[in-house]
Chain A
């Protein structure tokens, strides 16, 4: 059974319809990428899945349970965590405190969970007492991902994790996504960097005008002439 199933999702902001019937699914342990032109509704799709937008039509099922319209704090408890594209850390809190906030719903010691995040991002371990607001873009992205991993989610939503980062850091972040996935976490991500994200993805969706136009295994999309022409720069 699929971990996440989105079926015929229609939603938007105010009067403006952005998603016009999106359907996708994520199997346990998969990496799924959503690519597409600007304004296609990629980030909107993430927000809708995570309960930040109410679905107008269609259904969102996580682990067999309907979560459409459920509030984010309840969705978090079901085992889905979300890393927004921008403003995704608490700037006045230290790295360690940022991680603790990711596990707010838990009681008891968080030491073991923090250590696991520090193992994944050794750079954060060195800077655990530094305020997140004083860190570089790449480090902040690590803090944000670390925060989302504190609850041991079954599904991690990443909204453009490589946006605005230098090429070396982009590679590092994709490498980390691979490591996170290897540990058994399913990942649904939206990326501008279509080629890199499809290389990593078990399955890819091309989103155009609020609905999925093409989908298939990531490697197939990479060699698909139409996808190549439109989104991978020829």
Chain B
């Protein structure tokens, strides 16, 4: 398609030029850096030590890793299916509670020192990841696919996904009640010193390592495998994928298995780091969508970058804000991005999404 070229580019109004400059990629990255710097200065002014801030930054990266596991799936599902999956956070909750369920049945082994969990959690993880993927695919077969076939407007799809979220959360309430739970009640989880006085729990290092490993596996899948390339192609242009002979049903199945599976792993990791409660995933939805939009909708690598930025901003804001405002801070970042560069870091202006 021909691009619209202004007749007299030099005569653009100053306001318009400023808007364009603000909407450029370097400007957005600069803005994010400034936000982080401002958070740092604000915290510093309140007498928060640099050591504590560094610790928060490390925790931010960790949270970013967990968010990325959710955000990558969310962005892939949107890219391939044009479905804003509001049930994605609850798929994470679902994964965490499936792990809790499993732990009640399998015998607990000795903790794998220095971690707080035993080999049984790792074994459960191998089962839960495909199980949560399957849960997502089942929802698709029962609900979303029928709606797609009828070519309903996007808002109906969003409402259906919201319904899926309520369904999953109600199942969690029914099965486990509203109380806070933990995988291993009463086990000590001492923090160790990493460097420069920064203290983390060994579990958290495991979580970060696992998140990085899974993200690397997704990268390999998307770049090297035929199905991964077909997923990217379908996200680019679903009609062209169909007329090229791509098995779009297979692409949909794999997208759910991978996106849902990552969400399941993310949920288990989040629960291991904090605790379980039926609304844990629901409250991640805002940061997840913020990560996805920040990194350009449909772009898996963008979701990773977005999740890291949101995780950092969220954690650093707790230096001077009540941690309960974390998702609110993510929301503020989301609004800023939508105002100045709605296509996100990796998008092109005016691109179809």
Please give the residue numbers on chain A whose beta carbons come within 8 Å of chain B beta carbons, in ascending order: 50, 52, 71-73, 76-77, 82, 84, 86-93, 97-98, 100-102, 104-105, 133, 147, 151, 164
Contacts and interface: CB of A to CB of B under 8 A. Distances in A.
Contacts of B242: 71-73
Contact of B245 (A88, A93, A151): A151
A147 B244 contact: yes
Interface stretch (B108-116, B132-140, B156-164, B231-239): B231-239
29 contacts: A50-B243, A52-B243, A71-B242, A72-B242, A73-B245, A73-B246, A73-B247, A76-B243, A76-B245, A82-B243, A84-B239, A84-B240, A84-B243, A88-B240, A89-B240, A90-B232, A90-B236, A90-B237, A92-B299, A100-B229, A102-B244, A102-B245, A104-B226, A104-B244, A104-B245, A105-B245, A105-B247, A133-B348, A164-B2
A72 B245 contact: yes
Contacts, number: 70
A93 B230 CA distance: 10
A110 to B, nearest CB: 10
B149 interface: no
A104 B230 contact: yes
Interface in B214-242: 226, 229-230, 232-233, 235-237, 239-242
B5 interface: no
A67 to B, nearest CB: 14
Nearest to A71: B242
A141 to B, nearest CB: 12
A50 B242 CA distance: 11
B324 interface: no
B196 interface: no
B21 to A, nearest CB: 23
Nearest to A151: B245
Interface in B182-235: 226, 229-230, 232-233, 235
Given A86-B1, A87-B237, A164-B2, A93 B243 contact: no
Contacts of A87: 1, 237, 239-240
B243 A101 contact: no
Looking at chain B, what size class is its interface with the partner chain? Answer: 20 to 34
Interface string B1-33: 110000000000000000000000000000000
B246 A104 contact: yes
Contact of B232 (A52, A72, A84, A92): A92
Contacts of A100: 226, 229
A158 to B, nearest CB: 13
Q: Which 5 A-B pairs have the closest CB atoms?
A: A76-B245, A90-B236, A105-B245, A72-B243, A90-B233
Contacts of B348: 133
Interface in B328-349: 348
A216 to B, nearest CB: 30
Contacts of B226: 100, 104
Interface of B: 1-2, 226, 229-230, 232-233, 235-237, 239-248, 299, 348
B240 A93 contact: no
A90 B245 contact: no
Contacts of A164: 1-2
Contact of A93 (B233, B239, B299): B233
B244 A76 contact: yes
A101 B2 contact: no
Contacts of A88: 240
Nearest to B346: A92
Given A73-B246, A164-B2, A101 B237 contact: no
A22 to B, nearest CB: 20
A183 B60 CA distance: 59
B247 A91 contact: no
Given A97-B229, A101-B229, A104-B226, A77 B245 contact: yes
Given A84-B239, A90-B240, A104-B247, 8 more contacts: A72-B245, A82-B243, A87-B240, A89-B240, A90-B233, A101-B229, A102-B244, A151-B245
A92 B236 contact: yes
Nearest to A91: B236
A93 B1 contact: no
A234 to B, nearest CB: 28
Most buried by A among B232, B233, B235, B248: B233
Contacts of B237: 87, 90-91
A108 B64 CA distance: 39
B247 A93 contact: no
A164 to B, nearest CB: 6
A88, A91, A97, A104, most chain B CB atoms within 10 A: A104
A133 B244 CA distance: 17
A44 to B, nearest CB: 15
Contacts of B233: 90, 93, 97-98, 101
A21 B186 CA distance: 78
A182 to B, nearest CB: 24
Contacts of B236: 90-93
Contacts of A84: 239-240, 243
Nearest to A52: B243
Q: Which of A88, A89, A100, A101 has the most CB of B within 10 A?
A: A101
